[in-house]
Structure 1
Amino acid sequence: MLSVILPTLLFASLALAAFGALRRIALWRRGRPAQVDVLGGLLAMPKRYAVDLHHVVARDKYIANTHVATAGGFVLAALLAIVVHGFGLHNRVLGFALLAATALMFTGAVFVYKRRLNPPARLSKGPWMRLPKSLLAFSGSFFLATLPVAGVLPEHFGGWAMAAILGVGVLWGVSELFLGMAWGGPMKHAFAGALHLAWHRRAERFGGGRSTGLKPLDLTDSRTPLGVEKPKDFTWNQLLGFDACVQCGRCEAMCPAFAAGQPLNPKKLIQDMVIGLAGGNDARFAGSPYPGKPLGEHSGNPHQPIVNGLVDADTLWSCTTCRACVEECPMMIEHVDAIVDMRRFLTLEKGATPNKGAEVLDNLIATDNPGGFAPGGRMNWAADLNLKVMADVQQAEVLFWVGDGAFDMRNQRTLRAFVKVLKAAGVDFAVLGLEERDSGDVARRLGDEATFQGLARRNIQALAQYRFTRIVTCDPHSFHVLKNEYAAFGGQYEVRHHSTFIAELIQGGRLNLGQHTGGSVTYHDPCYLGRYNGEYEAPREVLRALGIEVREMQRSGFRSRCCGGGGGAPITDVPGKQRIPDMRMEDIRQTEAELVAVGCPQCTAMLEGVVEPRPAIKDIAELVADALIEAPLRANSVASSKREAAQVNP
């Protein structure tokens, strides 16, 4: 009987799965065209799965090992089941191979079941709670059905009753695992995820690469939509990426806005985009809702506007673009790209940037800086420093990109400290002076691609007049934009963050430093230096050179908590239950450090905005400038030279 039931169930489910796969692909293809390497992506997919994806999954050893056993066992078991039971190749070697594969899968499924007995809050419940049982049913049923093939039990053991039980188990298993891949359900992520890895919109992320710059809009093509209004306005491989979500909630657990009680949950945002693929509402979403927004009130379809249908505008404006969600996602989904795409429509088409957003964008257009300060005052902070200006010298080893911290009295201290360091090291540097404009970072994150591109092109035009080896800046946001986003407009530069450049100066023996004499120090990683550009070690090297033992926060490095200052968040100012910088300061207090070292003007402003008592905040450049002992040495050297001259010429 099993010789009839099993092939029938296997091939019927495979046929239905193939039909469902075509239907799923049709849903993705509702999106806009995107260029991908179809064959190359498919060939690269196994390595991307085994290496890049599992590099992220492996951060949780329990689920990594569980996933290897369950997924690996399932793939082997499914292929062997089709050969052995589908085509009837009853070979003992194949039988034992299938027994081993199902046993491996069953072992993994037991651990999946154990995890689901008391799942973490970040995991979606609902249909996901039945998945362990389906995995056990599939592996257990095929294990028992294969025992006669391997010669362990006699053929037709158990009679009709056993055949009926195994038939039900196989039906349950193939319905979830084969049909579910294509028609919906927890296993949908396996089919969509494999193709997402093959045709990822940022293929350069694989193989140890990094890709964090936003993709530009073609503002010269009237057919190109200005951002994303409806689900169908996403590219088809973005829609495919959303469908790959495994609802693990790692992004939710890392999101600073969600933790602060603002109306954003990146996991739910991605699932809302999945709802938009085929139409429906969020009433059946089995995870955490957006804080303050009940389930069942949002719906949409591919042809309906997303905002106020699938999501509310304040959900999009809550994002700090810190990229913690992207860094944590085991399926390598690009949440920030999607959010900025939707912001672009609201800003460019609707003019609906909230709170002070419109004022800041108007300031950038009128004065080239977000604060609306008179452009002629850009160099007032350095009136007594006698800095070289590129227009006068035409070339320098280093172009010091000052940034809009030039208009902020607190950040001026950092700029002056860094100038002191550059001079102490004898660096040949110059500034653009009044030719420098805002880098455009905040305009782009607020969705104003037109203003960003205007600023970028004017800055590139100014830079093209002069010769320099590299650009150095104290602002990670300017650093990121100049390094990773200007290239699309013809501006390719070697760019250094000031902490990296100072570390190079120290390693080269160009700075004579004393030891830090203050109290204990913790270091706060800026999102746009760390997660966006992978620089975690250079700032710590500088601190170690000062004799500082860094007290690491629990959330540091690639898991550092955002200060709340990125993505225009202080401008759009969406309220929550608490402030993100207050949460970060609590992380700091747990280290009992007396001083916080920072490397970003936004971080400085946000952390200093926390009410006292709290540790002092100092930029790395300030700490290094305080430790310089080169000036006294030079004075002693001058005095020594005079004494020697007096002895030679009495």
Structure 2
Amino acid sequence: MTFTLAYALTGLFWLGAALLSLGLVRRAALWRQGRAAPVALGWLMTIPKRYFVDLHHVVARDPFIAKAHVAVAGGAVAVLALAALNYGLMLYLPALDALMLLAALLMLFGAVLVRSRRKAPPARLSKGAWNRLPKSLLAFAVGSALAALLALSGNAFGAAAQGLALLALAGLVLGGAELALGVGLGGPMKHAVAGLLHLAFHPRQDRFSGDKRSTDLKPINLVGKDYGVETPADFAWNRLLSFDACVQCGKCEAACPAYAAGQPLNPKKLIQDMVTGMAAGSGPAYAGNPHPGQAGKVRQGNPHQPIVGGLLDPETLWSCTTCRACVEECPMLIEHVDTVVSLRRHVTLTRGEVPGKGREALANLRDTDTVGGYPLAARYHWAIDLNVPVLLPGEHTDWLLMAGEGAFDMRYQRALRALVKVLKAAGLKVAVLGEVEPDCGDLARRLGDEATFQQLAGKMMNTLGRYRFNRIVTPDPHLFHCLKNEYPVLGGRYDVEHHSQVLADLLERGAVPLKADAAPLPATTYHDPCYLGRYNGETDAPRRVFKGIGIKVVEMERSGRKGRCCGWGGGASFTDIPGERRIPDMRMDDIRATGAEQVAVACPNCTAMLEGVVGPRPEVVELAELVAARLAN
């Protein structure tokens, strides 16, 4: 009986391997519909590190599911590897059977955990075929354990051996079919293969390069008539691959501010819409939460059919704030924001269909170099009595202060004045560009107008090239991000710091003269700007500032890189897609929940959005204002 079972396992292994290979070829044909992208087979060697370090760094945020995933995935991979060795190569070694039994028991433990998770699942989890997956895992684990046990036991089970062998084979067939057939048919287990390949051929290879945060949008070749993505086939092939890596866990859904506000965007559904388009209806039926307000809508697509207006309503596309909360939480490292911006680029550049005040803002940028259509000469009117020198060609300064678009807002001008007072009190040599400072192009790029962004970026780089300075300081995280991360690929490389970083350093060096007997400040919480925290990983500097001036921060539940967006980013405050609630109102609820009397901010856009919340609320105070209030007279 042992040898009969062994031969059956050998046949079953090679049958499964053949079906899996055919399924992979079928799925790969869907990915190959996309555009060409750089590829190196050597990247396959990076999978172990990226899997065990980068991927599990995100998965480990949920200890329960991390433990389950390590057990079930680790056990399954070990079982398959040992089966390939012992039965695929027909070695039939008892030692390998013993190891296979241990691996199967580990997988069984993980499968039980996964099954328990599905008994009372979070609302974000997709159902349908995903509810079947724990049962398939259990069947495969039990079948593998029984097969290994029978191989080791000899005739110990007597007459029961035949029945147990049939049970083992049934479990292996039922459970193995989930993987062997699921890849080709688009079932849940396609993520096991697509996910590993996605790690190797990730569209953002620099995401895995040391401490670099790959958050910059990549330019497109406008001269070569690259106008973004219209159809699924317009995505690069490795983008299509990344969509298949989605495990529909819904962590992006739970993190998305637009979804929470009831706007018509669910990032998980967005990715599955791309899968539907890529597979032309051959993908799995979606059984998760829809885009809010769109329940029951049936979408059809194919690789060569326009996405926006077909698979996606335009309002879904314009609801995104580009805050990257979805990307931050995705355990499969999928880049949702890249997908959104790629689609926006085509709509904006070829159709000009930007909703709300977005079209007006883009026209202002093209005509006046400012979002609001202001004269450039008015950008530094707030500093006229502060004796801040305007840098002239040929002159030199240590610090070049760039105020950005916030300089036109009367409320934020108070914060800018406070910043200048602190920098001067610390003895820094600071100058401004005055009326020659153009917009950096952040809004244009996020709204998909890559042509205007590249035009503004070129103008900014030409302007900065005429002046001599050591470093740039700005209180605007969007300007900071553009100069630091998005200009280098265009040829502009600058030493740029956010004002929170400069203030933190000055306070720690004792360079800022503070009052010795300053009155205690009220309870304060801090709102992390998305483009400072998630985009640039800078959550520490503002808190060092608070420490330097004696403020103990009352942290919100969603803070740091988990902070909730204010609702401004990605042009959302201009496109203004309606939902059930406003995102800044939800953020103010987070603030109120701390019991703090004031909320500190470090971004002109966050200041404007939170100041715009009506009704009783904590006072909104800019970081530099808090430091300026502590200056010695």
Name the structure 1 match of 2:580: 577
Matched, 1:616 2:607: no
Q: For residues 471 and 243 of structure 1, what CA distance do their matches in structure 2 show?
A: 42
Flag the 1:101–1:419 CA change in 2: closer, same or farther, 3 A: same
Flag the 1:63–1:357 CA change in 2: closer, same or farther, 3 A: same
Flag the 1:161–1:595 CA change in 2: closer, same or farther, 3 A: same
Give the superposition deviation at 1:612.
2.3
Matched, 1:364 2:365: yes
Out of 108, 111, 122, which is 2:110 matched to? 108
Deviations 1:234-259 (A, max 9, x none): 11111111110011110000000000
Matched, 1:14 2:17: yes
Q: For residues 100 and 394 of structure 1, what CA distance do their matches in structure 2 show?
A: 72
Query: Which residue identity does 1:203 align to in structure 2?
Result: Q
Give the superposition deviation at 1:87.
3.6
Out of 554, 558, 579, which is 1:555 matched to? 558
Flag the 1:281–1:44 CA change in 2: closer, same or farther, 3 A: closer
Name the structure 2 match of 1:327: 328
Give the superposition deviation at 1:516.
5.8
Name the structure 2 match of 1:247: 248
Matched, 1:55 2:57: yes
Matched, 1:180 2:182: yes
Q: For residues 414 and 315 of structure 1, what CA distance do their matches in structure 2 show?
A: 35
Give the superposition deviation at 1:157.
5.3
Query: Which residue identity does 2:75 align to in structure 1?
Result: G
CA contact (8 A) 1:281 1:298 kept: no
Name the structure 1 match of 2:353: 352
CA contact (8 A) 1:91 1:150 kept: no
Query: Which residue identity does 1:454 align to in structure 2?
Result: Q
Match runs of 1:460-539 below 5 Å: 460-514=461-515, 515=518, 517-539=520-542
Deviations 1:187-212 (A, max 9, x none): 11110010100011111112443110
Q: For residues 186 and 592 of structure 1, what CA distance do their matches in structure 2 show?
A: 44
Identity of aligned residues (%): 57
Deviations 1:86-108 (A, max 9, x none): 44322221111010000000010
Matched, 1:149 2:151: yes
Match runs of 1:366-515 below 5 Å: 366-391=367-392, 394-514=395-515, 515=518
Q: For residues 157 and 464 of structure 1, what CA distance do their matches in structure 2 show?
A: 87
CA contact (8 A) 1:285 1:295 kept: no
Query: Which residue identity does 1:25 align to in structure 2?
Result: A
Give the superposition deviation at 1:147.
1.3
Flag the 1:403–1:164 CA change in 2: closer, same or farther, 3 A: same
Query: Which residue identity does 2:202 align to in structure 1?
Result: H
Matched, 1:259 2:264: no
Deviations 1:479-513 (A, max 9, x none): 00110001111100111000111111112221012
Out of 590, 594, 597, which is 2:593 matched to? 590
Matched, 1:628 2:623: no
Structure 1 moving runs of 4+ over 6 Å: none
Q: For residues 569 and 313 of structure 1, what CA distance do their matches in structure 2 show?
A: 13
Q: For residues 497 and 128 of structure 1, what CA distance do their matches in structure 2 show?
A: 44
Give the superposition deviation at 1:404.
1.1
Deviations 1:357-379 (A, max 9, x none): 11110000111101011222222
Flag the 1:283–1:109 CA change in 2: closer, same or farther, 3 A: closer
Name the structure 1 match of 2:271: 270
Give the superposition deviation at 1:409.
0.5
Matched, 1:601 2:604: yes
Question: What secondary structure sits across from 1:398 in the alignment?
Answer: strand
Question: What secondary structure sits across from 2:443 in the alignment?
Answer: helix
Deviations 1:338-387 (A, max 9, x none): 00000001100000000111111000011110101122222222221221
Flag the 1:11–1:296 CA change in 2: closer, same or farther, 3 A: farther
Name the structure 2 match of 1:540: 543
Q: For residues 167 and 350 of structure 2, what CA distance do their matches in structure 1 show?
A: 60
Flag the 1:539–1:447 CA change in 2: closer, same or farther, 3 A: same
Q: For residues 467 and 155 of structure 2, what CA distance do their matches in structure 1 show?
A: 82
Name the structure 2 match of 1:30: 33
Name the structure 2 match of 1:70: 72
Question: What secondary structure sits across from 1:419 in the alignment?
Answer: helix
Flag the 1:358–1:281 CA change in 2: closer, same or farther, 3 A: farther
Query: Which residue identity does 2:198 align to in structure 1?
Result: H
Matched, 1:230 2:231: yes
Deviations 1:101-123 (A, max 9, x none): 00000010000010011110011
Name the structure 2 match of 1:646: none
Aligned residues: 627
CA contact (8 A) 1:516 1:546 kept: no
Query: Which residue identity does 1:220 align to in structure 2?
Result: V
Deviations 1:532-570 (A, max 9, x none): 000001100101111111000000011100010111001
Query: Which residue identity does 2:82 align to in structure 1?
Result: L
Deviations 1:311-355 (A, max 9, x none): 111001000000000000011100000000000011000000001
Flag the 1:594–1:88 CA change in 2: closer, same or farther, 3 A: same
Question: What secondary structure sits across from 1:300 in the alignment?
Answer: coil
CA contact (8 A) 1:272 1:310 kept: yes
CA contact (8 A) 1:282 1:296 kept: no
CA contact (8 A) 1:387 1:431 kept: yes
Q: For residues 253 and 131 of structure 2, what CA distance do their matches in structure 1 show?
A: 19
| Structure 1 runs not aligned, ≥5 long | 633-650
Q: For residues 468 and 356 of structure 2, what CA distance do their matches in structure 1 show?
A: 41
Greater shift in the superposed pair: 376-385 or 132-141? 376-385
CA contact (8 A) 2:522 2:597 kept: yes
Query: Which residue identity does 2:612 align to in structure 1?
Result: G
Question: What secondary structure sits across from 1:27 in the alignment?
Answer: helix
Give the superposition deviation at 1:296.
4.1
CA contact (8 A) 2:27 2:183 kept: no
Name the structure 2 match of 1:120: 122
Deviations 1:261-305 (A, max 9, x none): 000000010011011111129993111000000234211010000
CA contact (8 A) 1:52 1:208 kept: no
- TM-score, normalised via structure 1 length: 0.94
Out of 114, 134, 139, which is 2:141 matched to? 139
Name the structure 2 match of 1:43: 45
Query: Which residue identity does 1:104 align to in structure 2?
Result: L
CA contact (8 A) 2:523 2:597 kept: yes
CA contact (8 A) 2:140 2:174 kept: yes
Q: For residues 172 and 495 of structure 1, what CA distance do their matches in structure 2 show?
A: 58
Flag the 1:381–1:17 CA change in 2: closer, same or farther, 3 A: same
Question: What secondary structure sits across from 1:399 in the alignment?
Answer: strand
CA contact (8 A) 1:272 1:282 kept: no
CA contact (8 A) 2:23 2:180 kept: no
Question: What secondary structure sits across from 1:262 in the alignment?
Answer: coil
Flag the 1:71–1:152 CA change in 2: closer, same or farther, 3 A: farther
Deviations 1:549-601 (A, max 9, x none): 10000000111000101110010000000010110000000100001000001
Q: For residues 179 and 284 of structure 2, what CA distance do their matches in structure 1 show?
A: 24
| Structure 2 runs not aligned, ≥5 long | none
Q: For residues 303 and 76 of structure 1, what CA distance do their matches in structure 2 show?
A: 40
Name the structure 1 match of 2:206: 204
CA contact (8 A) 2:187 2:284 kept: no
Give the superposition deviation at 1:8.
2.2
Q: For residues 242 and 464 of structure 1, what CA distance do their matches in structure 2 show?
A: 41
Question: What secondary structure sits across from 2:109 in the alignment?
Answer: helix
Greater shift in the superposed pair: 245-254 or 149-158? 149-158
Match runs of 1:285-364 below 5 Å: 285-364=286-365
